[in-house]
Amino acid sequence: MPRFGGITTYMRLPGTTALSDLDVAVVGVPFDIGTSNRPGARFGPREIRAESVLLRPYNMATRAAPFDSLRIDDTGDVAASPYDLQAAVAAIEAHYDNLLAHDLVTASIGGDHTVVLP
C-alpha cells in the first residue's frame, strides 16, 4: 500500500481492536474542550497519524527496532463528547480502564491537558 493510501494509522500500523494480542496500544484522544484559549488539540491525533506515515519502524542511528520486540498497534480514538466535559472525562477514563484491564502500556496522542486527569 502506498503511503498516501489506506486508513491512516500511527506509523502505518495495521490498526486493531483485538487488545489481547498487544503489548502497547497507541490511542488518540481528540479532545480540547478543557482549554479556554487555544482550541485545536482535538485535531492532534489525526494530524500526528498523517505525519507519522513518513516514520520508519526502526531508528537507523541507534539501530533501535521496537516493533521487533513489542506488539504495538493503533487502537483508534476515544469517543469523548465534544460538548460535555464531565461526560468526556468519564468516557476517557472508561476507555483507559478497558486498556489497562488488558495489561497494556498506552501511548496517547492528541488532546488538551484535561486528558491526563482520568
Going residue by residue through the chain (118 aa), what tens digit of pLDDT does each one get? 556 566 788 888 888 878 988 999 999 999 888 887 888 889 999 999 999 988 888 888 999 888 899 999 999 999 988 889 999 999 999 999 999 999 999 999 988 888 887 6
Show the domains of the chain with their CATH numbers.
Answer: 10-116 (3.40.800.10)
Strands (E), 1-118: 24-28, 72-77, 105-109
Q: Residues 106, 27: contact at Cβ < 8 Å?
A: yes
Is 49 in contact with 8 (CB distance < 8 Å)? Answer: yes
pLDDT at position 2 is 56
